[in-house]
Amino acid sequence: MRKLLSITLISALVLSSCNSYNKVLKSTDFDYKYEVAKECYMAGQYTRSYQLLEELILPLKGSDRGEESMFMLSMCYYNLRDYETASMYLDRYVKSYPKGKYVELARYYSGKASYMQSPDPRLDQSPTYTALNQLQDFLDHHPYSDLREEVNDMIYELQDRLVKKEFDSAKLYYNLGSYVGNCFYGGSNYEACIITAENALKAYPYTRLREDLYMLILRSRYQLAQRSVESKMEDRYRQTIDEYYGFRNEFPESKYMKEANQIFRHATSKVKLD
């Protein structure tokens, strides 16, 4: 009965005036502040909650309430979409309470907070690598978690962002074509396209852009063969044909199959039959 009355009074305080809340901020009763902070958190008043919780981390450190306070503080920032600060406090929670009650959720939300900060593929991808490391750390520590499927989905999406950056680079090389102004060390843009696309496939073999990358390689080999000197032309057409067979075997229903077949027919017309 007394506990119910306490909760009722605190809930009323949460909904009361700013003056009452300011009195809580000035209070030296840490247990009282904790109860109000928790009620604010449960009511979705995250700004009020974190203002109180910031003051409770050190006084309550090492206690059950201290552990819960740090986790709630982290989640206040997360729910306010301050993902950088949320991730900082979540990481601090894991280090402070490695066997804590909320450690699985802390690792999960820390990775998700970094995932939310992952930028457009055209920008620097350092935050994406951080997110991948954190999400993989979650799977390493909690391989049977109910959250693992969602974590894996986030990992695949982040990997696709990295692949998209490489795909865009490879496509740029392809579009530059025979332009030699950027080929300072020999080679060609088509060769650069092939190398970039192949490296992306080696690093991320299960990417959703796998078909697009392989088609870009096939196009590049074909263009490279067409622009080769006589002594290298037939060999490069044969490489194009080999690439076609690999593409067809893996993607027999590809949206690019009509184009691939056209490349194949022209390439085979340029080589001597054995």
Distance CA 242, CA 245 (A): 5
Segment 225-243 shows an average pLDDT of 93
Q: Which helix (H) or strand (E) holds 165?
A: helix 148-176
Residue 161's nearest CA partner among 215, 200, 109, 110 is 200
Distance CA 112, CA 126 (A): 15
Three-class SS of 191-232 = HHHHHHHHHHHHHCCCCCCHHHHHHHHHHHHHHHHHCCCHHH
pLDDT of residue 178: 76
- Nearest 5°: the CA angle 3, 7, 10 is 135
pLDDT of residue 186: 43
Weakest-pLDDT range from 20-29, 138-147, 171-180, 205-214: 20-29
| Residue appearing with tokens 């804590």 | 100
Name the average pLDDT for the chain: 89
pLDDT of residue 73: 97
Task: State pLDDT tens for residues 14-67.
Answer: 445 444 777 777 778 888 889 999 999 999 999 999 999 999 999 998 888 999
Residue type, 96: S
Segment 202-230 shows an average pLDDT of 94
pLDDT of residue 94: 96
The pTM is what?
0.76
pLDDT of residue 237: 96
pLDDT of residue 196: 96
